Chains A and B, each alone.
Chain A
Amino acid sequence: MTPALTNFTRHRLFWPLVVLALLLLANVIYRPSFVSVELREGHLYGSLIDIVRLSAPHMLVALGMTFVIATGGIDLSVGSVVAISGAIACLHISGQGDQNGIGGVLTAVALGLGLSLLLGLWNGFLVAGIGIQPIIATLILMVAGRGLAQLITQGQIITVNSSPYKLIGAGYSLTVPFSIVIALDVTGLAAALTRRSALGMIIESVGGNAEASRLAGVRSRRIILLVYVISAFCAGIAGFMESANVSGADGNSAGLWFELDAILAVVIGGTSLSGGRFSISGTVLGALIIQTLTTTVYAMNITPQTSLLFKAIVVIAVCLIQSPQFRAAVFKRRSRPVGPTTPHEPAQPPIVEASV
């Protein structure tokens, strides 16, 4: 292989890209119209557009999760935050005389975001302030948050009839679904925030070695607090999308299992669960893969009884193919001649004493 090609295949997004391409290819073979995108009434339509549109809320939640995971934490409460922010926004709109009023919708959004930030602060306080393990600290809000959401909706499904609000989840802006625009904007903002400032490096250093970072003067607690706030903020926006898409808030099922999809997207994107280096583009890719998978399951008419199994198998395949050890083992079995002392590359470039 040429060096350029080797570099490309060694890039950490190479295998996720391959998987996404394979999934898309499978869809095209099954149904050639899959790739067609048409302009109808000034809106783009097609399976590909659907995938991106539906992945928008997951992308946002996974984005916030990426920062949390980069510090070595985890946020299980995002699904509940999705439900809560959607519920409070819909509650406010449903109380308005004119549900189509821009002012009412903006207030609703502000309320939802404000509450999400508070919930993020709560998570961050439990983890950074009191020192509870992240999985337990956020489990509290994961469980209690469902109750809070149902409290807001009074156990009912609040339906709204507000076209400005519907725009967030199901509307179009210049032919493109508006939720995609929001998701990409927030992602771009997050990328700029972390990579143009020193936040990204500081997060990675806290996740890589918290004690060393503290002794280097990093205020780790503030950083940890911040990532939980960011995570809840992203989940809050996703909550608007979810509820706006169906024009209603269901405290019980909105955002259900979002945390698992988000964690999966982060891991598929190459960010290690043990913290340290993170990849925003990897997470975006991960979210797209998961949504493509879900769409594929529906498009191919895989029976509901087996669809979860199918998803699971693909996810396992994605994780395995990303592991250099696994690839080396498969590769070795195919090419190894007989004899125990065959020279071969170690599975992963090992750490050597650098000698120059």
Chain B
Amino acid sequence: MSPPQPMLTMTGVSKQFPGVRALSEVDFRLFPGEIHALMGENGAGKSTLIKVLTGVYPIDSGAMTLDGAPVSFGSPLQAQQGGVSTVYQEVNLCPNLSVAENIFIGREPRSFGRIQWSAVRSRAKELLARLQLDIDVTAQLRSYSLAVQQMVAIARAIDISAKVLIFDEPTSSLDKGEVAQLFRVMRQLSQSGVAIGFVTHFLDQVYEISDRITVLRNGRLVGEYLTRDLPQLELVEKMIGKELDVLERLEEQTKRAPHAVDRPLIQAVELGRKGSIEPFSLTIHAGEVVGLAGLLGSGRTEVARLLFGADRSDHGDLLVDGAPAGIRSPTAAMARDIAFCSENRRTEGLVEELTVRENMILALQASRGWSRPLPRRRQDELVAKYIQALRITPADPEQAVRNLSGGNQQKVILARWLITEPRLLILDEPTRGIDVGAKAEIQRLVVELSDGGLAVLFISAELDEVLRLSHKVAVLRDRRVVSELANDSTLDADRVMQTIASGS
């Protein structure tokens, strides 16, 4: 058998943005019937490469071939017509249109200028059936979960073009079952001869599904490897480009010492909100890290939002320092020294247009009121201090925050809250979608802060992380706190999983 011909090749691709060389001389190949993972830290150039590949940005220099013939795409539309489609983490469809309309928008089957709706519907149903999905295609897209929306995006992509399909962080917002379903579809597609590119931060997923790995670092190609030839540790080293001392130290770190219990800082007593979370009780002490474990949609975020007053409770009490606090708004929570980093960095965290400095001081300034501006010198001091402490890059306080990578944006929000000197810090998925190095730094920070007396409510889909950092773990299932487990030597991921599964 002759060696397989790549479906798509990119050779010596470079891309320059004002002030930044995003890609230099990168090679990338996709083979039919293979799933190829593109790996690298935030800022390594993965997104740029994908965007160049799919025609979002023009190529500065370098060549691209598809099916052996040279190509260049001037727009995503051209790329799609040429056979290259992308499925993004945030689904790029119209939530207000029906599923069928979304699949065929812009290329509806017509006769005499009229759209043939019955054909639209039946073909949409067929396409989704190929992905083993049986849903009402006339319902609005927004009425379905993100996972289903992603399937719709995939259905649209494979119907337009079935040569190359790129998945850009498709699993970040999915729960375990949904990821499994997505992977089944990806395998099915690849077996039918589609060349699949896969961008993700989850190392486990790379090893679960990919056949080949390309690693980028700082806009340069590190290498292309067969997944089976590249042990996980080596992969991480290639991505980071240095020995893994930070990460390993954290990995090796034993359980946290049991927390010395003093008086409780925050007590939720049968706190609840109809349709959001069943009444729950939870106590957090100063210096204690409480982890929340549970599947996506189990009510983790809802607990956090009630404690912060982002949503109003309609049941039970919230006590701060032993007295009812009457927290009914974020402002009230902040007055009691509670801080909340939302899981949705872009929609609920950053003001993307503003600078790093402005984003960092926003919470402190808001609590002072607009008429008492924080003196500029004090602002600069605080911002410089946290840019250095959290190692935010680029270390330019006047940079618009939208120009930062995900991990650095997350640190900016962390800094915003640390500047307010809270007593309870609620972190909702603080490490999601950020690279390994930044993740380790944030974990280390949580340990340091709690050692210094800060109470932390730590929410993460990654059980390892929760177990590594927490003194105790509250387990949620179906919008209910089902159990509270002390993080002693007997607690491991399996037991937490069992608790989630059994619900007690």
Asked whether any CB of chain B lies closer than 8 Å to the CB of A344, the reply is yes
Asked whether any CB of chain A lies closer than 8 Å to the CB of B57, the reply is yes
Asked whether any CB of chain A lies closer than 8 Å to the CB of B334, the reply is yes
Write out the residue numbers on chain A whose beta carbons fall within 8 Å of the beta carbon of B348.
211-212, 215
Q: From A81-89, A216-224, A290-298, A313-321, give the one contacting chain B.
A: A216-224
Asked whether any CB of chain B lies closer than 8 Å to the CB of A356, the reply is yes
Residues of chain A from 150 to 207 with CB closer than 8 A to chain B in the complex: 196-199, 201-202, 204-205
A197, B371: Cβ atoms closer than 8 Å: yes
The docked-state distance in angstroms from the alpha carbon of A211 to that of B354 is 15
Chain B, Cβ-Cβ closest to A206: B351
Does more than half of chain A's interface fall in helix, strand or loop, or is it mixed?
loop
A350, B349: Cβ atoms closer than 8 Å: no
A211, B347: Cβ atoms closer than 8 Å: yes
B352-378 interface code vs A (CB 8 A; 1 in, 0 out) = 111000100011011110111110000
Write out the residue numbers on chain A whose beta carbons fall within 8 Å of the beta carbon of B363.
216-217
Chain A, Cβ-Cβ closest to B15: A352
Q: How many residues of A contact B (CB 8 A)?
A: 36
The docked-state distance in angstroms from the alpha carbon of A350 to that of B403 is 9
B394, A354: Cβ atoms closer than 8 Å: yes
Answer whether A208 and B403 are a contact pair too, CB < 8 Å, given A197-B373, A352-B20, A353-B42. Answer: no
Chain B, Cβ-Cβ closest to A277: B353
Q: Among B47, B72, B352, B366, point to the contact of A213 (Cβ < 8 A).
A: B366
Chain B, Cβ-Cβ closest to A195: B373
The docked-state distance in angstroms from the alpha carbon of A341 to that of B58 is 8
A349, B17: Cβ atoms closer than 8 Å: yes
Asked whether any CB of chain B lies closer than 8 Å to the CB of A39, the reply is no
Question: What is the CB-to-nearest-CB distance from A346 to chain B, in angstroms, rounded to a whole number?
Answer: 6
Answer whether A353 and B405 are a contact pair too, CB < 8 Å, given A213-B362, A217-B363, A218-B366. Answer: yes
The docked-state distance in angstroms from the alpha carbon of A223 to that of B72 is 49
Write out the residue numbers on chain B whose beta carbons fall within 8 Å of the beta carbon of A356.
43, 393-395
Write out the residue numbers on chain A whose beta carbons fall within 8 Å of the beta carbon of B480.
none
Answer whether A198 and B373 are a contact pair too, CB < 8 Å, given A216-B366, A218-B362, A354-B405. Answer: yes
The docked-state distance in angstroms from the alpha carbon of A206 to that of B330 is 15
A201, B43: Cβ atoms closer than 8 Å: no
- B residues adjacent to A (C-beta < 8 A): 17-18, 20, 22, 42-48, 57-61, 72, 74, 218-219, 308, 310, 330-331, 334, 340, 342, 347-354, 358, 362-363, 365-368, 370-374, 393-395, 399, 402-405, 408, 416
- A residues adjacent to B (C-beta < 8 A): 196-199, 201-202, 204-205, 208-209, 211-219, 223, 276-277, 340-341, 343-346, 349-356
Instruction: List 17 A–B pairs whose Cβ atoms lie within 8 Å, in order of A's numbering.
Output: A201-B354, A202-B366, A205-B362, A209-B352, A211-B348, A213-B351, A215-B330, A218-B366, A219-B331, A341-B58, A343-B58, A343-B59, A351-B402, A353-B22, A353-B48, A354-B408, A355-B219
